[in-house]
A and B are shown apart, each in its own frame.
Chain A
């Protein structure tokens, strides 16, 4: 059974009254969602973000039509929450949204978590990518997502995502070569 089918079976079990199926769904996706949120620049209240994602997903599960995988749907909800939070923070603090120039500073806090030097350098290279390039690249290398799945998530096309990924890979290689 692939991941999509496993999720679909768990959803049916939950709809049938099995609360343990919900716990299994959370166990399968919470870590990946938290990682995606962190890679998007969220540092605080990651638990709340991931929790809000699941609550929203389960509250509107009846509207989930399986046009995409359940995982893609979860990531899409989380991405919207992250964007909403960034917008509200921008209004509140009159801050400029993270862009290529600011990204490096924002991810310094991750250095302590990354054990090996190579990974730190790769992450620094990734921080220099454009926001969309970075999003596509991170989803591809950390979650192994297919281009089609990423395209659904970021609201782009499969071909465009493929181009973003390969351009990002080239940029990362160049950064590492120059370092």
Chain B
């Protein structure tokens, strides 16, 4: 006559004990209990017999595996997705950069150009600055500009052509003072379009 052990929690551990699914601690606890509990020992035998009563039928594992859908190739897709993200990021950066350049150009073309008028010394010469590329500073100077146009490369400060050695000391001092005054102007982005330095045939008196 089989009876039920009064320890329900212990009985709940018995199937796991039979299948070796318990932790080491639980397994040791159950093993110790089985040494003294004939009811649980009989139940363990019954569980083992019930497990044997339903043997696993043979199945063709290879056939099942062949019928499965192919693996989704997630790893390769992941690489492709990563590459796509990098390309998208690069396109985004280039686009933002292009819009920034366009916006800056629009801003500076819409901003009034600063023009500095310098008191005229003895004779005139046209000076082009990067700050005022389209409105040359007119300086009365005897300087004769040898080059009809300045380089298209962005420059900072004042540029002019002509023989500086032709100036007198007073003229040079005056010019240096004017340069100091120009350098105190706020700078802006260098631009590629610079107004040409135009030699003044009338000595600069009718330059503007």
Q: Residues of A with Cβ closer than 8 Å to B?
A: 14-19, 21-23, 26-27, 30-32, 34-35, 38-39, 46-47, 50-51, 54-55, 58-59, 110, 113-116, 118-120, 122-123, 126, 137-138, 140-144, 146-147, 162, 166, 169-170, 172-173, 176-177
Residue from A14, A120, A123 within 8 A of B71 (CB atoms): A14
CA distance A122 to B71 in the complex (A): 42
Query: Across the interface, do A15 and B49 meet the contact criterion of CB distance under 8 Å?
Result: no
Residue from A16, A17, A18, A26 within 8 A of B64 (CB atoms): A26
- 29 A-B pairs within 8 Å (CB atoms) are namely A17-B71, A17-B74, A19-B68, A19-B70, A21-B71, A26-B61, A26-B65, A31-B59, A34-B56, A35-B57, A58-B69, A110-B54, A110-B55, A116-B49, A119-B52, A119-B53, A122-B50, A123-B50, A126-B50, A138-B54, A141-B18, A141-B50, A141-B51, A142-B51, A143-B19, A147-B12, A166-B11, A170-B4, A176-B46
B residues contacting the other copy or chain, number (CB 8 A): 41
Q: Residues of B with Cβ closer than 8 Å to A?
A: 1-2, 4, 8, 11-12, 15-16, 18-19, 21, 43, 46-47, 49-61, 63-65, 67-76, 78
CA distance A144 to B53 in the complex (A): 14
Known: A17-B73, A50-B64, A55-B68. A144 touches B57 (CB 8 A): no
B115: min CB distance to chain A, Å: 68
Instruction: List the B side residues contacting A19 at CB < 8 Å.
Output: 68, 70-71
A19-B71, A30-B64, A110-B54 known, 6 other contacts, Cβ within 8 Å: A14-B71, A31-B59, A35-B55, A38-B57, A47-B59, A123-B54
The binding surface of chain B is classed by DSSP as helix
Known: A55-B69, A140-B15. A122 touches B49 (CB 8 A): yes
A75: min CB distance to chain B, Å: 14
Query: Across the interface, do A17 and B76 meet the contact criterion of CB distance under 8 Å?
Result: yes
Known: A17-B73, A122-B46. A144 touches B52 (CB 8 A): no
CA distance A59 to B49 in the complex (A): 37
Q: Which residue of A lies closest to B62 (CB)?
A: A23
A129: min CB distance to chain B, Å: 11
Query: Across the interface, do B71 and A26 meet the contact criterion of CB distance under 8 Å?
Result: no
Query: Across the interface, do B67 and A51 meet the contact criterion of CB distance under 8 Å?
Result: yes
Instruction: List the B side residues contacting A18 at CB < 8 Å.
Output: 71
Query: Across the interface, do B63 and A51 meet the contact criterion of CB distance under 8 Å?
Result: yes
